[in-house]
Amino acid sequence: MGSQLPLTPAPWDAVPPQEQLFVLITGANSGIGLSIGERLIDEFLATRSLTSHLILLPTTRSKSKSLQTIRALRSYAQHTAQTSAALRSRIGDKYNWEETVARIHILSLQLDLCDVNGLYAFAARLVHEPVSNPEGLSDEYLRNVRIPRLDSVVCNAAYGGWSGCNYPKAIWSFLTKGLTQSVSWPTFKNALPTCILNENPQYHYPAKPLLGEVFSACVFGHYILAHELLPLLNRRSENETPGRIIWSSSLEAVRESLNPSDIQCFNGKGPYESAKRLTDVLSLTTTMLSAKPYSAPFLTPDDLKEAEAKPVPPKFYLTHPGIVASTIFPVPWFLMWAYTLALVIARWLGSPWHAVDPYTGSKSAAWVVLQEQSALDDLDGEYVKWGSSSNHKLEVGVKKTEVEGWGWEGKVEDPKADTATGVLNKLVGRKLGTPDVTKDDLVEFEALGAECWKKMEDLRHEWANIIGVKRV
């Protein structure tokens, strides 16, 4: 596979690989996705060398949204650099903001996570061919450049699939559970029946097997994408920093939301919550003994030569943004102010999870992207669900999140013995009624992981056969 387009030298080619950082973010034209890009710009410039380059690949569903995203992130980078230059000039430090902006590169590509054919085509193009920004920018910026590798893929894009809010049920929840618990784990959202993508003529899918929209947008699309991008994520030796597949989950991914016999939640009441619980289970059990017969093939490129040349697979990490006032939640626009106020009050009352705004919610994903590998390894980072956290003083951080049936770190522990202070203490922000994890729970969780991994691999192979995927 190849392209007839002439390859153009990329601006990051002038620096060695260790001074390049390539990050792909799905669903990045607004909300959390766009804010992840903004926070990465801020924290990259604050922590990396003055010669390092950040290459962001935000995906959107249309060229117009890609152009909008490129302009927004380039403008943000310029503002950040100019602000830093102004601050440094006060202490007599010379700082060229234009040179700083020249080290931030935005390359936005189009991707529909519900389009299985499009997913394979997108990955093949990124792996094998030069790629370009869409036409329409004032300058010929990043045309026909190759992406040599990916350091992180942030699986952020999602679709809620709700029709609205059950207000009487919401009021009853506030009265019986309190505001904080109610807006942390809401039980009053009205979910739409799972939309069947096979019924959408734009995808040209066969009548069977059925493919659900929320399941595809939140999990399965990312699942296919991650596997197909392995040639860019895998490494040649363990001396290289492994690639990272960073899954975005939700605080609402409770135990009862996932029925493994109905993995796409065709018959359940919450497709979004089910998809996020499935995300938790897949990510946290990737390296478990029972799941490895299925996760190991997933993390191995289909091309045997590629697998032999780059045998070190990427690592899975699990994050969530906390609770953010977002249009994904089914609140009418004229009531968003009330919803936002409720989140602010919950944070003021001591909740660690109410990030409220997307930039605060982007903290956990950006943190995992930028952490040194040794630091993540020391924290057993693959076995933790990392959540964006904030306190009433608006101090933002990253907090370990309890996963029902798994605990905080995949082990039996007494949360009362936690020595962390403030909002980082494990007892702070805990869902009411959640029992401490037991050894039996962990065994059950690992078995659930193996079952889900098998179902996902079977489904991936089934759809690859349906659309006639050709391997190089």
How far, CA to CA in Å, does 185 sit from each of 174, 205, 319, 454? 11, 35, 17, 29
Could you tell me the two tokens for 282? 């897949």
Task: Select which of 152, 173, 274, 276 is catalytic.
Answer: 276
The amino acid sitting at 77 is A
Q: Where are the alpha helices (DSSP H) in 234-317?
A: 271-284, 292-298, 304-309
Cβ distance 309 to 230 under 8 Å? no
Taking the C-alpha atoms of residue 221 and residue 226, their distance in angstroms, rounded to an integer, is: 9
What sign for the dihedral angle of Cα 74, 75, 78, 80? Answer: negative
Helix 116-128 × helix 221-228 angle, to 10°: 20
* Rounded Cα–Cα distance for residues 103 and 95 (Å): 14
Catalytic-role residue among 108, 216, 249, 362: 249
The C-alpha atoms of residue 81 and residue 84 are separated, in whole angstroms, by 5
Task: Looking at 106-215, list the stretches that DSSP marks H as alpha helix, in order from N- to C-terminal side.
Answer: 116-128, 167-177, 179-184, 213-215
Q: Which of 120, 159, 205, 272 is catalytic?
A: 272
Instruction: Tell me the one-letter amino acid at 407.
Output: G
Q: How far apart are CA 286 and CA 446, in angstroms?
A: 9
Our CA dihedral for 292, 294, 298, 303, rounded to 10 degrees, sits at 100
Residue at token pair 């659900």: 212
Residues 313, 382: contact at Cβ < 8 Å? no
Task: Respond yes or no on whether the N-terminal peptide bond of residue 209 is cis (omega within 30° of 0).
Answer: yes
Determine the Cα–Cα distance for residues 469 and 471; give it in Å rounded to an integer: 6
Residue 276 annotated as catalytic:
yes
Q: Is 336 exposed, middle or buried (0-12, 13-18, 19+ CB in 10 A)?
A: middle
In DSSP terms, which residues pair with 315 in a beta bridge? 244
Give the distance between the most distant pair of CA atoms in the chain: 68
205 catalytic? Reply is: no
Q: For Cα atoms 223, 239, 398, give the angle at the middle one, nearest 5 degrees.
A: 55
Are the CB atoms for 81 and 171 separated by under 8 Å? Answer: no
> Is 272 a catalytic site residue?
yes
Specify the 3-state DSSP secondary structure of 162.
strand
In angstroms, the CA 231 to CA 124 distance is: 10
> Annotated catalytic sites, by residue?
249, 272, 276
